[in-house]
Amino acid sequence: MSKFEVLVEQVKNVRDHPNADRLSLLDINGFTCISAKLEDGSHRYKDGDPVAYIPEGSVLPEWLLKELDFWDDEKGKGRLNGSNGDRIKAMRLRGILSQGVIYPCCGITNEETGTHYRKWMRMADGEIHKVGIGWDVAEQLGITKYEPPIPASMGGEVFSHSYDLIYKFDIENAQKFENVFFPDDIVNITEKLHGTFTGFIFTTEKREDFLEVVTEEGTLYATAYSKGLGSKGLCFRANETNLAKNLYMRSLKTFLDSRTSEQLANLYGETENESAFLILGETFGQGIQDLGYSTPPKFLAFDTVSDGEVDSYRNFEKVTKSLGVETVPLLFKGRYGDADLITLRDGKSSIDGKTLKEGIVIRDDDNADTGFIGRKMLKMVSPDYLTRKGETTELQ
């Protein structure tokens, strides 16, 4: 999941909804939102209007639900998604995908000069505050990111003394950053799986609470972490309970048990003389998230990290091959300009041909640094995935 923020941005490209006379389409922060028109049929917003863009996955406080007319007095809760009706999800309105909600600036007028200032916004404290384009106002509005309840299998005893070994993984949405890739860039496009991020850490340095792994070349020490824990510098303890019940540690144990002696020796070789060697990937399958695929829980890698630096894709392929590590499906390799991104993004998963595809991840061959979001890597998420029915999960 990319960084959660509620940014003040300017509305762009306000236009009529092609299938609904009373609705407008507008672009903001790379996404399309849908707004009701005013009573006279005119657009509620115009190009350049400053608003707060509240992305999908946001949880709105009661005061803001009422402010935006998303409150049901009779039921005593919001009219959005989730059990409390306070969560924003992507939705299709008359055939058009709408992602997120916008909260307008109220503006103030100088009574002496008559000048109207647009960049002011009513906040959770009931007061009107000045804002600026690009400001993150999530905290001031009382908006939080939705965090689903963690299943028992994903919880466990953790520790914090391995912060120096953890690689924090994050990826931004291509809709927000349209100019990262150029037509002649050589890219690797892989399937984005609907599971849970899983990081394996290996080091030759003896560490308390790590799993001890004896190879023909020497002893490794290993543990695992989730995305949420990793962001806090936490890992799972390699104790008996975690190894038996915790999804991430069981995934690590299965990974190690399935290695041959030669592969374990190669794993030791990757780790020797390094501060750590990490394998990052997705654990997915039946019983994990709401898209179970037709496979038991399984780990597939999408990154390797050596001495704190993520490997280029070509090195990733070389290393995973030597270790016998299965990787997420590679759907396309070649010029970015030659890739049919929409076809690659949508449809059914290449894992089983039946499960809805979450989307794709695009990355270049060399881990070039963009200068503003880190390495050249973006995700594209399928609209069908975003608008799927039922009580969906988005566990990290």
DSSP string for 3-68: PP--EEEE-EEEEEETTEEEEEEEEETTEEEEEEPPTTS--S--TT-EEEEE-TTEE--HHHHHHT
Residues 140, 171, single domain; the answer is no
Q: Is there a domain that residue 391 lies in?
A: no
Residue 376 has pLDDT above 80, yes or no: yes
Residues 220, 332, single domain; the answer is yes
Q: Is there a domain that residue 1 lies in?
A: no
User: What is residue 190's three-state secondary structure?
Assistant: strand
Residues 137, 161, single domain; the answer is no
- Of the candidates 206, 181, 223, 246, the residue with the CA atom closest to the CA atom of residue 379: 181
Residues 118, 156, single domain; the answer is no
pTM: 0.84
10 Å Cβ neighbour count for 272? Answer: 13
Q: Is there a domain that residue 188 lies in?
A: yes
Q: Is there a domain that residue 348 lies in?
A: yes
Structure tokens at 176: 């927000």
- What is the predicted pLDDT for the residue at 240? 93
Mean pLDDT of 52-69: 94
Residues 259, 320, single domain; the answer is yes
Q: Is the backbone of residue 311 left (phi > 0), alpha (psi -120 to 50) or beta?
A: beta
10 Å Cβ neighbour count for 83? Answer: 8
Q: Is there a domain that residue 318 lies in?
A: yes
Q: Is there a domain that residue 392 lies in?
A: no
Residue appearing with tokens 């993004």: 345
Residue appearing with tokens 């061959």: 365
Residues 110, 236, single domain; the answer is no
Q: Is there a domain that residue 94 lies in?
A: yes
Residues 173, 297, single domain; the answer is yes
- The domain total for the chain is 2
Residue 241 has pLDDT above 90, yes or no: yes
Predicted confidence band of residue 110 (pLDDT cuts 50, 70, 90)? low
CA 360/CA 344 separation, integer angstroms: 7
Orientation angle between helical segments 261-271 and 313-323, nearest 10 degrees:
140
Residues 204, 348, single domain; the answer is yes
Residue 395 has pLDDT above 50, yes or no: no
CATH number for position 31:
2.40.50
Query: Where does a domain end: 110, 125, 145?
Result: 145
Residues 134, 219, single domain; the answer is no
CATH number for position 266:
3.30.470.30
Q: Is there a domain that residue 396 lies in?
A: no
- What is the predicted pLDDT for the residue at 108? 74
Alpha helical stretches, state H, the chain: 62-67, 138-141, 227-230, 240-245, 247-257, 261-271, 313-323, 341-345, 383-386
Q: Which residue has the higher pLDDT, 291 or 87?
A: 87
Query: Where does a domain end: 93, 115, 145?
Result: 145
Of the ranges 97-101, 124-128, 270-274, which one carries the lowest mean pLDDT score?
Answer: 270-274
Phi, psi of 219 (to 5 degrees): -100, 135
Residues 224, 247, single domain; the answer is yes
Residue appearing with tokens 């005893």: 157
Domain of 182, in residue numbers: 152-386
Residues 172, 310, single domain; the answer is yes
CA 135/CA 73 separation, integer angstroms: 32
Residues 41, 130, single domain; the answer is yes
User: What type of residue is 394?
Assistant: E
Query: Where does a domain end: 97, 116, 145?
Result: 145
Could you report how far apart the first and last alpha carbons of the chain are, in Å?
8
pLDDT tens per residue across span 257-284: 999 999 999 999 988 766 789 999 999 9
CA 225/CA 320 separation, integer angstroms: 19
